[in-house]
Protein backbone atom coordinates (compact mmCIF):
# COMPACT_ATOMS: atom_id res chain seq x y z
CA UNK A 1 0.00 0.00 0.00
CA UNK A 2 1.32 3.42 -0.95
CA UNK A 3 0.55 5.71 1.94
CA UNK A 4 -0.82 9.19 1.16
CA UNK A 5 -1.56 10.46 4.65
CA UNK A 6 -0.12 13.67 6.05
CA UNK A 7 -0.54 14.80 9.64
CA UNK A 8 -2.39 18.04 9.22
CA UNK A 9 -3.50 20.82 6.91
CA UNK A 10 -0.15 22.64 7.24
CA UNK A 11 1.70 19.63 5.91
CA UNK A 12 -0.93 19.09 3.26
CA UNK A 13 -0.46 22.59 1.84
CA UNK A 14 3.34 22.47 1.72
CA UNK A 15 4.62 24.06 -1.50
CA UNK A 16 1.67 26.38 -1.97
CA UNK A 17 2.91 29.74 -3.27
CA UNK A 18 1.68 33.15 -4.41
CA UNK A 19 0.49 33.31 -8.01
CA UNK A 20 -0.50 29.66 -8.25
CA UNK A 21 -3.64 28.18 -9.82
CA UNK A 22 -5.86 26.13 -7.53
CA UNK A 23 -8.87 23.92 -8.19
CA UNK A 24 -11.38 23.83 -5.34
CA UNK A 25 -14.22 21.34 -5.14
CA UNK A 26 -17.73 22.17 -4.00
CA UNK A 27 -21.08 23.42 -5.28
CA UNK A 28 -22.17 26.54 -3.45
CA UNK A 29 -21.02 25.80 0.09
CA UNK A 30 -21.73 22.08 -0.28
CA UNK A 31 -18.64 19.88 -0.26
CA UNK A 32 -16.07 22.69 -0.12
CA UNK A 33 -12.58 22.04 1.29
CA UNK A 34 -13.11 24.16 4.42
CA UNK A 35 -9.78 23.30 6.07
CA UNK A 36 -7.70 24.09 2.99
CA UNK A 37 -9.47 27.43 2.49
CA UNK A 38 -8.87 28.40 6.13
CA UNK A 39 -5.19 27.52 5.76
CA UNK A 40 -4.87 29.56 2.54
CA UNK A 41 -6.29 32.52 4.49
CA UNK A 42 -3.85 31.87 7.36
CA UNK A 43 -0.86 31.66 5.03
CA UNK A 44 -2.06 34.77 3.20
CA UNK A 45 -1.31 33.27 -0.21
CA UNK A 46 -1.90 35.98 -2.81
CA UNK A 47 -2.57 36.43 -6.53
CA UNK A 48 -4.41 33.13 -6.67
CA UNK A 49 -6.27 31.90 -9.71
CA UNK A 50 -9.22 29.81 -8.47
CA UNK A 51 -11.04 27.22 -10.53
CA UNK A 52 -14.24 26.65 -8.59
CA UNK A 53 -17.88 26.41 -9.64
CA UNK A 54 -18.89 29.19 -7.22
CA UNK A 55 -17.19 31.89 -5.19
CA UNK A 56 -18.66 31.23 -1.75
CA UNK A 57 -20.65 33.81 0.20
CA UNK A 58 -19.32 37.02 1.75
CA UNK A 59 -18.16 35.43 5.01
CA UNK A 60 -17.65 31.78 4.15
CA UNK A 61 -15.97 29.54 1.61
CA UNK A 62 -13.98 31.36 -1.05
CA UNK A 63 -15.57 34.58 0.20
CA UNK A 64 -12.94 34.47 2.98
CA UNK A 65 -10.15 34.69 0.40
CA UNK A 66 -11.99 37.41 -1.51
CA UNK A 67 -12.35 39.50 1.64
CA UNK A 68 -8.58 39.53 2.03
CA UNK A 69 -8.11 40.20 -1.70
CA UNK A 70 -6.05 37.04 -2.12
CA UNK A 71 -7.74 36.06 -5.38
CA UNK A 72 -6.54 37.53 -8.67
CA UNK A 73 -8.76 35.55 -10.98
CA UNK A 74 -11.87 33.37 -10.63
CA UNK A 75 -12.90 30.73 -13.16
CA UNK A 76 -16.49 29.80 -12.26
CA UNK A 77 -19.92 29.11 -13.71
CA UNK A 78 -22.06 30.99 -11.20
CA UNK A 79 -21.05 33.78 -8.81
CA UNK A 80 -24.43 35.20 -7.85
CA UNK A 81 -24.41 34.91 -4.05
CA UNK A 82 -21.48 37.13 -3.16
CA UNK A 83 -21.71 40.92 -2.88
CA UNK A 84 -17.97 41.44 -2.29
CA UNK A 85 -17.28 39.37 -5.38
CA UNK A 86 -19.59 41.55 -7.45
CA UNK A 87 -17.95 44.71 -6.12
CA UNK A 88 -14.42 43.50 -6.93
CA UNK A 89 -15.50 42.31 -10.36
CA UNK A 90 -17.29 45.52 -11.36
CA UNK A 91 -14.39 47.66 -10.08
CA UNK A 92 -11.94 45.58 -12.11
CA UNK A 93 -9.92 44.38 -9.09
CA UNK A 94 -10.88 40.81 -9.81
CA UNK A 95 -10.57 39.05 -13.14
CA UNK A 96 -13.47 36.68 -13.86
CA UNK A 97 -13.79 33.99 -16.48
CA UNK A 98 -17.33 32.62 -16.56
CA UNK A 99 -17.49 29.10 -17.94
CA UNK A 100 -20.56 26.89 -18.47
CA UNK A 101 -20.87 24.45 -15.60
CA UNK A 102 -20.62 21.29 -17.70
CA UNK A 103 -17.63 22.73 -19.54
CA UNK A 104 -15.98 23.51 -16.21
CA UNK A 105 -16.42 19.88 -15.12
CA UNK A 106 -15.22 18.61 -18.49
CA UNK A 107 -12.09 20.80 -18.42
CA UNK A 108 -11.23 19.37 -14.98
CA UNK A 109 -11.91 15.84 -16.11
CA UNK A 110 -9.88 16.35 -19.29
CA UNK A 111 -6.91 17.41 -17.16
CA UNK A 112 -7.43 14.35 -14.94
CA UNK A 113 -7.62 11.97 -17.86
CA UNK A 114 -4.93 13.34 -20.17
CA UNK A 115 -7.08 14.95 -22.84
CA UNK A 116 -5.58 18.28 -23.99
CA UNK A 117 -9.02 19.56 -24.96
CA UNK A 118 -12.61 18.52 -25.56
CA UNK A 119 -15.40 19.59 -27.91
CA UNK A 120 -18.65 20.71 -26.30
CA UNK A 121 -21.82 22.20 -27.77
CA UNK A 122 -22.23 24.44 -24.69
CA UNK A 123 -21.77 28.11 -25.44
CA UNK A 124 -21.69 27.80 -29.21
CA UNK A 125 -22.99 31.04 -30.75
CA UNK A 126 -22.50 32.95 -27.46
CA UNK A 127 -19.72 35.20 -26.15
CA UNK A 128 -18.25 32.20 -24.31
CA UNK A 129 -17.15 30.78 -27.67
CA UNK A 130 -15.55 34.00 -28.92
CA UNK A 131 -11.98 33.45 -30.12
CA UNK A 132 -12.26 29.69 -29.70
CA UNK A 133 -12.00 27.07 -32.41
CA UNK A 134 -15.36 25.61 -33.45
CA UNK A 135 -16.09 22.52 -35.50
CA UNK A 136 -19.07 20.72 -36.97
CA UNK A 137 -19.78 17.07 -36.17
CA UNK A 138 -22.87 15.42 -37.71
CA UNK A 139 -24.45 18.77 -38.51
CA UNK A 140 -24.03 20.26 -35.02
CA UNK A 141 -21.53 22.90 -33.94
CA UNK A 142 -19.07 22.40 -31.08
CA UNK A 143 -16.55 24.59 -29.27
CA UNK A 144 -13.00 23.44 -28.50
CA UNK A 145 -12.28 23.89 -24.79
CA UNK A 146 -8.82 23.22 -23.39
CA UNK A 147 -8.08 21.18 -20.27
CA UNK A 148 -7.31 23.20 -17.15
CA UNK A 149 -3.76 23.42 -15.85
CA UNK A 150 -3.53 23.78 -12.09
CA UNK A 151 -0.85 23.56 -9.40
CA UNK A 152 -3.02 22.20 -6.58
CA UNK A 153 -6.47 20.64 -6.39
CA UNK A 154 -8.17 21.00 -3.00
CA UNK A 155 -10.80 18.33 -2.56
CA UNK A 156 -13.23 17.45 0.21
CA UNK A 157 -14.43 13.85 0.60
CA UNK A 158 -16.59 12.14 3.21
CA UNK A 159 -14.40 9.12 3.92
CA UNK A 160 -10.93 8.27 2.80
CA UNK A 161 -8.28 5.72 3.66
CA UNK A 162 -4.50 5.87 4.06
CA UNK A 163 -4.08 4.87 0.41
CA UNK A 164 -6.02 7.94 -0.70
CA UNK A 165 -9.14 6.04 -1.80
CA UNK A 166 -12.19 8.26 -1.49
CA UNK A 167 -15.93 8.06 -0.92
CA UNK A 168 -18.15 11.11 -1.23
CA UNK A 169 -21.55 11.77 0.33
CA UNK A 170 -24.76 13.04 -1.27
CA UNK A 171 -24.46 16.09 -3.48
CA UNK A 172 -21.24 17.07 -1.69
CA UNK A 173 -19.59 14.96 -4.40
CA UNK A 174 -20.14 17.50 -7.24
CA UNK A 175 -16.83 18.76 -8.70
CA UNK A 176 -14.60 17.03 -6.14
CA UNK A 177 -14.02 13.74 -8.00
CA UNK A 178 -13.44 15.59 -11.30
CA UNK A 179 -10.60 17.58 -9.73
CA UNK A 180 -8.72 14.61 -8.27
CA UNK A 181 -5.56 14.11 -10.27
CA UNK A 182 -6.37 17.14 -12.43
CA UNK A 183 -3.65 19.30 -10.83
CA UNK A 184 0.04 18.70 -10.15
CA UNK A 185 -0.78 17.96 -6.51
CA UNK A 186 -4.17 16.77 -5.23
CA UNK A 187 -4.80 17.44 -1.54
CA UNK A 188 -7.83 15.77 0.03
CA UNK A 189 -9.41 16.50 3.37
CA UNK A 190 -11.89 14.00 4.76
CA UNK A 191 -14.41 13.89 7.56
CA UNK A 192 -13.28 10.39 8.41
CA UNK A 193 -9.83 9.01 7.69
CA UNK A 194 -9.61 5.23 8.10
CA UNK A 195 -6.84 2.61 7.86
CA UNK A 196 -6.36 0.84 4.53
CA UNK A 197 -8.67 -2.13 4.24
CA UNK A 198 -11.61 -0.55 6.02
CA UNK A 199 -13.31 0.78 2.93
CA UNK A 200 -14.96 -1.71 0.59
CA UNK A 201 -13.02 -1.53 -2.72
CA UNK A 202 -16.37 -1.95 -4.52
CA UNK A 203 -17.62 1.32 -3.07
CA UNK A 204 -14.61 3.57 -3.84
CA UNK A 205 -15.55 6.63 -5.93
CA UNK A 206 -11.98 7.81 -6.56
CA UNK A 207 -8.95 5.49 -6.41
CA UNK A 208 -5.93 6.69 -4.44
CA UNK A 209 -3.74 6.98 -7.55
CA UNK A 210 -5.38 10.38 -8.20
CA UNK A 211 -4.47 11.64 -4.71
CA UNK A 212 -1.08 12.81 -3.41
CA UNK A 213 -1.96 13.92 0.12
CA UNK A 214 -4.86 13.08 2.41
CA UNK A 215 -5.56 14.30 5.94
CA UNK A 216 -8.20 14.14 8.64
CA UNK A 217 -10.13 17.41 8.45
CA UNK A 218 -11.59 19.11 11.50
CA UNK A 219 -14.14 21.65 12.74
CA UNK A 220 -16.47 21.35 9.74
CA UNK A 221 -19.14 24.00 9.76
CA UNK A 222 -20.96 22.69 6.65
CA UNK A 223 -23.03 25.81 6.35
CA UNK A 224 -26.39 25.58 4.56
CA UNK A 225 -26.97 28.34 2.00
CA UNK A 226 -30.74 28.00 1.50
CA UNK A 227 -32.45 26.21 4.33
CA UNK A 228 -35.72 25.03 2.77
CA UNK A 229 -38.04 22.78 4.76
CA UNK A 230 -41.66 21.65 4.87
CA UNK A 231 -43.58 21.49 8.12
CA UNK A 232 -44.21 18.15 9.78
CA UNK A 233 -47.93 17.63 9.49
CA UNK B 1 -53.94 35.55 -16.80
CA UNK B 2 -51.76 33.08 -14.90
CA UNK B 3 -49.58 33.65 -11.87
CA UNK B 4 -46.26 31.83 -11.38
CA UNK B 5 -47.99 28.76 -9.97
CA UNK B 6 -50.38 28.76 -12.91
CA UNK B 7 -47.48 28.76 -15.37
CA UNK B 8 -45.90 25.86 -13.46
CA UNK B 9 -49.24 24.02 -13.44
CA UNK B 10 -49.61 24.36 -17.22
CA UNK B 11 -46.01 23.22 -17.84
CA UNK B 12 -46.57 20.19 -15.61
CA UNK B 13 -48.92 18.88 -18.32
CA UNK B 14 -45.91 18.62 -20.65
CA UNK B 15 -44.21 16.20 -18.26
CA UNK B 16 -44.92 12.66 -19.42
CA UNK B 17 -44.66 9.23 -17.83
CA UNK B 18 -41.07 7.95 -17.79
CA UNK B 19 -39.45 11.37 -18.25
CA UNK B 20 -36.18 12.46 -16.67
CA UNK B 21 -36.60 16.20 -16.14
CA UNK B 22 -34.21 19.03 -15.25
CA UNK B 23 -35.86 22.00 -13.57
CA UNK B 24 -34.20 25.41 -13.49
CA UNK B 25 -34.38 27.90 -10.64
CA UNK B 26 -37.55 30.00 -10.08
CA UNK B 27 -40.88 29.12 -11.72
CA UNK B 28 -39.50 25.82 -13.12
CA UNK B 29 -38.87 24.54 -9.58
CA UNK B 30 -42.61 24.90 -8.89
CA UNK B 31 -43.45 22.49 -11.73
CA UNK B 32 -42.62 19.52 -9.47
CA UNK B 33 -45.60 20.45 -7.27
CA UNK B 34 -48.08 19.95 -10.11
CA UNK B 35 -46.92 16.77 -11.84
CA UNK B 36 -49.66 14.11 -11.87
CA UNK B 37 -49.07 11.50 -9.21
CA UNK B 38 -50.17 8.61 -11.43
CA UNK B 39 -47.05 8.94 -13.63
CA UNK B 40 -43.39 8.13 -12.89
CA UNK B 41 -40.99 11.02 -13.34
CA UNK B 42 -37.46 11.58 -12.02
CA UNK B 43 -36.09 15.05 -11.43
CA UNK B 44 -32.42 15.70 -12.12
CA UNK B 45 -30.52 18.48 -10.45
CA UNK B 46 -27.26 19.21 -12.23
CA UNK B 47 -25.21 19.43 -9.04
CA UNK B 48 -25.47 15.66 -8.89
CA UNK B 49 -28.77 13.95 -8.07
CA UNK B 50 -31.41 12.00 -9.96
CA UNK B 51 -34.58 11.23 -8.06
CA UNK B 52 -34.78 14.52 -6.19
CA UNK B 53 -37.60 14.70 -3.65
CA UNK B 54 -39.37 17.53 -1.82
CA UNK B 55 -37.85 19.79 0.84
CA UNK B 56 -36.95 17.92 4.04
CA UNK B 57 -39.08 18.09 7.17
CA UNK B 58 -37.96 20.71 9.62
CA UNK B 59 -34.94 19.47 11.56
CA UNK B 60 -34.03 16.87 8.92
CA UNK B 61 -32.01 19.17 6.64
CA UNK B 62 -28.70 17.76 5.45
CA UNK B 63 -25.94 20.18 4.36
CA UNK B 64 -24.68 17.46 2.00
CA UNK B 65 -28.00 17.22 0.17
CA UNK B 66 -28.97 20.27 -1.89
CA UNK B 67 -30.30 21.10 -5.35
CA UNK B 68 -28.73 23.40 -7.95
CA UNK B 69 -30.48 26.35 -6.30
CA UNK B 70 -28.54 25.45 -3.12
CA UNK B 71 -31.80 24.57 -1.34
CA UNK B 72 -31.93 21.63 1.05
CA UNK B 73 -33.81 18.71 -0.53
CA UNK B 74 -34.47 15.00 -0.03
CA UNK B 75 -33.68 11.95 -2.12
CA UNK B 76 -36.54 9.64 -3.13
CA UNK B 77 -36.33 5.82 -3.24
CA UNK B 78 -34.38 4.96 -6.39
CA UNK B 79 -32.34 8.16 -6.29
CA UNK B 80 -28.67 8.32 -7.19
CA UNK B 81 -25.80 10.75 -6.63
CA UNK B 82 -22.99 11.45 -9.08
CA UNK B 83 -20.23 13.93 -9.87
CA UNK B 84 -20.60 17.04 -12.03
CA UNK B 85 -18.92 15.53 -15.09
CA UNK B 86 -21.35 12.58 -15.03
CA UNK B 87 -24.24 14.96 -14.46
CA UNK B 88 -23.43 16.99 -17.54
CA UNK B 89 -22.71 13.78 -19.40
CA UNK B 90 -26.40 12.94 -18.88
CA UNK B 91 -27.35 16.36 -20.17
CA UNK B 92 -24.90 16.57 -23.09
CA UNK B 93 -25.61 12.96 -24.03
CA UNK B 94 -29.34 13.81 -24.30
CA UNK B 95 -30.42 11.32 -21.67
CA UNK B 96 -32.53 13.96 -19.93
CA UNK B 97 -35.92 14.13 -21.69
CA UNK B 98 -37.08 17.60 -20.76
CA UNK B 99 -35.43 20.83 -19.62
CA UNK B 100 -37.52 23.60 -18.11
CA UNK B 101 -35.84 26.92 -17.43
CA UNK B 102 -36.47 30.62 -17.00
CA UNK B 103 -35.40 33.37 -19.41
CA UNK B 104 -35.00 37.12 -19.68
CA UNK B 105 -35.56 37.05 -23.44
CA UNK B 106 -36.49 34.53 -26.13
CA UNK B 107 -36.24 35.27 -29.86
CA UNK B 108 -38.60 34.04 -32.57
CA UNK B 109 -35.87 31.68 -33.88
CA UNK B 110 -35.53 30.02 -30.44
CA UNK B 111 -32.47 31.95 -29.17
CA UNK B 112 -32.49 32.43 -25.41
CA UNK B 113 -30.82 34.97 -23.11
CA UNK B 114 -30.87 34.44 -19.35
CA UNK B 115 -27.44 34.90 -17.78
CA UNK B 116 -26.15 38.44 -18.05
CA UNK B 117 -27.22 42.07 -18.27
CA UNK B 118 -24.06 43.93 -19.36
CA UNK B 119 -22.96 46.52 -16.80
CA UNK B 120 -25.76 45.60 -14.38
CA UNK B 121 -25.96 41.96 -13.49
CA UNK B 122 -23.46 39.18 -14.02
CA UNK B 123 -24.30 36.10 -12.04
CA UNK B 124 -23.05 33.58 -14.54
CA UNK B 125 -24.66 30.96 -16.69
CA UNK B 126 -24.35 28.05 -14.27
CA UNK B 127 -25.50 24.97 -16.17
CA UNK B 128 -27.89 26.80 -18.49
CA UNK B 129 -25.56 26.93 -21.52
CA UNK B 130 -24.89 23.20 -21.31
CA UNK B 131 -28.60 22.45 -20.91
CA UNK B 132 -29.82 24.55 -23.82
CA UNK B 133 -27.01 23.43 -26.14
CA UNK B 134 -27.86 19.76 -25.75
CA UNK B 135 -31.46 19.20 -24.71
CA UNK B 136 -33.92 18.35 -27.47
CA UNK B 137 -36.97 19.48 -25.57
CA UNK B 138 -36.61 22.88 -23.91
CA UNK B 139 -39.55 24.70 -22.35
CA UNK B 140 -39.13 28.26 -21.14
CA UNK B 141 -41.20 29.39 -18.16
CA UNK B 142 -41.43 33.16 -17.83
CA UNK B 143 -43.65 36.22 -17.66
CA UNK B 144 -44.64 37.47 -21.12
CA UNK B 145 -43.33 40.99 -20.42
CA UNK B 146 -40.66 42.44 -18.14
CA UNK B 147 -41.22 44.78 -15.19
CA UNK B 148 -41.19 47.78 -17.55
CA UNK B 149 -44.00 46.13 -19.53
CA UNK B 150 -41.77 45.35 -22.52
CA UNK B 151 -42.12 42.11 -24.43
CA UNK B 152 -39.72 39.28 -23.62
CA UNK B 153 -40.67 37.45 -26.83
CA UNK B 154 -38.56 39.27 -29.38
CA UNK B 155 -37.52 39.30 -33.03
CA UNK B 156 -33.93 39.14 -31.80
CA UNK B 157 -32.49 38.98 -28.28
CA UNK B 158 -30.81 42.17 -27.10
CA UNK B 159 -28.98 40.56 -24.17
CA UNK B 160 -25.96 38.21 -24.45
CA UNK B 161 -27.17 34.80 -25.58
CA UNK B 162 -27.24 31.63 -23.53
CA UNK B 163 -27.94 29.44 -26.56
CA UNK B 164 -28.98 29.67 -30.20
CA UNK B 165 -32.13 28.31 -31.83
CA UNK B 166 -32.85 25.91 -29.01
CA UNK B 167 -36.16 26.77 -27.28
CA UNK B 168 -39.04 24.55 -28.37
CA UNK B 169 -41.91 25.90 -26.28
CA UNK B 170 -42.71 28.91 -24.09
CA UNK B 171 -45.33 29.07 -21.35
CA UNK B 172 -46.03 32.55 -20.01
CA UNK B 173 -48.69 34.20 -17.87
CA UNK B 174 -50.56 34.91 -21.12
CA UNK B 175 -50.01 32.03 -23.52
CA UNK B 176 -48.51 28.74 -24.64
CA UNK B 177 -46.32 29.28 -27.67
CA UNK B 178 -44.41 26.88 -29.87
CA UNK B 179 -41.19 28.07 -31.49
CA UNK B 180 -41.29 27.13 -35.18
CA UNK B 181 -39.04 27.91 -38.13
CA UNK B 182 -41.62 30.56 -39.08
CA UNK B 183 -41.76 32.26 -35.67
CA UNK B 184 -43.81 32.10 -32.44
CA UNK B 185 -46.89 29.93 -33.05
CA UNK B 186 -49.71 30.67 -30.60
CA UNK B 187 -51.13 27.41 -29.26
CA UNK B 188 -53.22 28.40 -26.24
CA UNK B 189 -54.45 31.48 -24.41
CA UNK B 190 -54.34 31.80 -20.63
CA UNK B 191 -57.79 31.92 -18.98
CA UNK B 192 -59.46 35.27 -19.68
CA UNK B 193 -56.71 36.50 -22.03
CA UNK B 194 -57.58 37.53 -25.61
CA UNK B 195 -55.52 36.89 -28.74
CA UNK B 196 -55.22 40.69 -29.13
CA UNK B 197 -53.63 41.03 -25.67
CA UNK B 198 -51.09 38.34 -26.57
CA UNK B 199 -50.33 40.01 -29.92
CA UNK B 200 -49.80 43.31 -28.15
CA UNK B 201 -47.38 41.77 -25.64
CA UNK B 202 -45.35 39.90 -28.29
CA UNK B 203 -42.70 41.82 -30.24
CA UNK B 204 -41.52 38.87 -32.36
CA UNK B 205 -43.52 37.35 -35.19
CA UNK B 206 -46.67 35.72 -33.79
CA UNK B 207 -48.41 33.12 -35.93
CA UNK B 208 -52.14 32.80 -35.28
CA UNK B 209 -53.91 30.00 -37.08
CA UNK B 210 -57.65 29.49 -36.64
CA UNK B 211 -59.40 29.59 -33.30
CA UNK B 212 -56.96 29.68 -30.36
CA UNK B 213 -58.25 27.58 -27.45
CA UNK B 214 -58.09 28.64 -23.84
CA UNK B 215 -55.70 26.60 -21.68
CA UNK B 216 -57.08 23.77 -19.61
CA UNK B 217 -55.15 23.52 -16.37
pLDDT, one tens digit per residue, over A157-174 is 999 999 999 999 999 999
Note whether A166 and A160 are within 8 A (CB): yes
- Residue B75 forms part of a structural domain: no
Q: Is B22 on the interface with A (CB under 8 A)?
A: no
Look at residue A86 in the predicted model and tell me its pLDDT.
Answer: 84
Contact B57 A172 (CB under 8 A): no
Look at residue B119 in the predicted model and tell me its pLDDT.
Answer: 80
- Nearest C-alpha neighbor of A98 from the set A114, A109, A86, A112: A86
Assign B122 a pLDDT band (cuts: 50, 70, 90).
Answer: confident
Mean pLDDT value of segment B148-159? 97
Host H or E run for residue B44: strand B42-45
What Å distances lie between residue A177 and A11, A115, B57, CA to CA? 22, 16, 30
Q: Is B196 on the interface with A (CB under 8 A)?
A: no
Contact B83 A105 (CB under 8 A): yes
Note whether B131 and B86 are within 8 A (CB): no
Mean pLDDT value of segment A226-233? 90
- Residue B115 forms part of a structural domain: yes
With a cut of 80, say whether residue A52 has pLDDT above it.
yes
> A95-98 and A71-76: which strand pairing?
parallel
A101-130 pLDDT per residue, tens: 999 999 999 999 999 999 999 999 999 999
With a cut of 90, say whether residue A84 has pLDDT above it.
no
Look at residue A82 in the predicted model and tell me its pLDDT.
Answer: 83
With a cut of 90, say whether residue A87 has pLDDT above it.
no
In DSSP terms, A134 is beta-bridged to A143
- Chain A nearest-CA distance from B211, in A, is 37
Contact B64 A169 (CB under 8 A): yes
- Nearest C-alpha neighbor of B86 from the set B75, B74, B77, B95: B95
Look at residue A64 in the predicted model and tell me its pLDDT.
Answer: 96
Mean pLDDT value of segment B158-178? 98
User: What's the rounded Cα separation, in Å, for the pair B9 and A39?
Assistant: 48
| Residue of chain A whose Cα is closest to the Cα of B62 | A224
- Residue B37 forms part of a structural domain: yes
Assign A89 a pLDDT band (cuts: 50, 70, 90).
Answer: confident
With a cut of 80, say whether residue B109 has pLDDT above it.
yes
* Least confident window among A82-86, B138-142, B195-199: A82-86
Assign B118 a pLDDT band (cuts: 50, 70, 90).
Answer: confident
Mean pLDDT value of segment A1-30? 98
Contact A171 B66 (CB under 8 A): yes
Mean pLDDT value of segment B142-159? 97
User: What's the rounded Cα separation, in Å, for the pair A88 and A164?
Assistant: 37
- Residue B184 forms part of a structural domain: yes
- Residue B111 forms part of a structural domain: yes
- Residue B79 forms part of a structural domain: no
Q: Taking the model in full, what pTM does it have?
A: 0.96
With a cut of 90, say whether residue B123 has pLDDT above it.
no
B16-75 pLDDT per residue, tens: 999 999 999 889 999 999 999 999 999 999 999 999 999 999 999 999 999 999 999 999
> B169-171 and B175-180: which strand pairing?
antiparallel
Name the residues of B annotated as catalytic: 46
With a cut of 80, say whether residue B175 has pLDDT above it.
yes
Look at residue B84 in the predicted model and tell me its pLDDT.
Answer: 98
| Preferred mutation among A76, A100, A156 to probe B, highest tally of B CBs within 10 A | A100
| Preferred mutation among B64, B69, B117, B128 to probe A, highest tally of A CBs within 10 A | B64
In DSSP terms, B107 is beta-bridged to B154
- Residue B129 forms part of a structural domain: yes
User: What's the rounded Cα separation, in Å, for the pair A158 and A172?
Assistant: 8
With a cut of 80, say whether residue A81 has pLDDT above it.
no
What Å distances lie between residue B27 and A12, A98, A225, B173, CA to CA? 44, 24, 20, 11
Q: Out of A102, A224, A229, name the one closest to residue B58 (CB).
A: A229
Size of interface A-B (CB pairs under 8 A): 182
Instruction: Please state, for a pLDDT cut of 70, what percent of chain B lies above it.
Output: 100
Contact A178 B54 (CB under 8 A): no
With a cut of 80, say whether residue B121 has pLDDT above it.
no
Instruction: Please state, for a pLDDT cut of 70, what percent of chain A lies above it.
Output: 100
- Say how many domains are in chain B: 1
Considering the segment(s) A9-113+149-216 as one domain, its CATH architecture is 3-Layer(aba) Sandwich (3.40)
- Residue B103 forms part of a structural domain: yes
Range of the domain at B103: 4-46+94-207
Look at residue A72 in the predicted model and tell me its pLDDT.
Answer: 97
Return the domain boundaries, chain A: 9-113+149-216
CATH code of residue B186: 3.40.1080.10
At residue A31, φ and ψ (nearest 5 deg) are: 75, 30
* Cβ-Cβ contacts under 8 Å, B134 against chain A: 121-122
| Residue of chain B whose Cα is closest to the Cα of A85 | B123
What Å distances lie between residue B57 and B2, B34, B53, B54, B65, CA to CA? 30, 20, 11, 9, 13
- Nearest C-alpha neighbor of A155 from the set A139, A142, A166, A144: A166
Contact A230 B45 (CB under 8 A): no
Amino acid sequence: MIKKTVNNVQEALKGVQNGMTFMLGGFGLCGIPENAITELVQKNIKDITCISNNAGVDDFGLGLLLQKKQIKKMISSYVGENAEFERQMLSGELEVELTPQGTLAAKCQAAQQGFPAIYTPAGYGTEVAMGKETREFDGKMYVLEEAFKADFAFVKAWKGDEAGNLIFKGTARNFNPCMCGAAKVTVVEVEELVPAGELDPNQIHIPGIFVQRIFQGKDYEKRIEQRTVRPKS
Amino acid sequence: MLDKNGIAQRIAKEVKDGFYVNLGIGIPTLVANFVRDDIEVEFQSENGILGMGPFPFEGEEDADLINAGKQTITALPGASFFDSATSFGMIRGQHVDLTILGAMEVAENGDIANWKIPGKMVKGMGGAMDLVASAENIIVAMMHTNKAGESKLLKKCSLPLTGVGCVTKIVTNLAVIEVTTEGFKLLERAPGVSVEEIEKATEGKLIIEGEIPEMVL
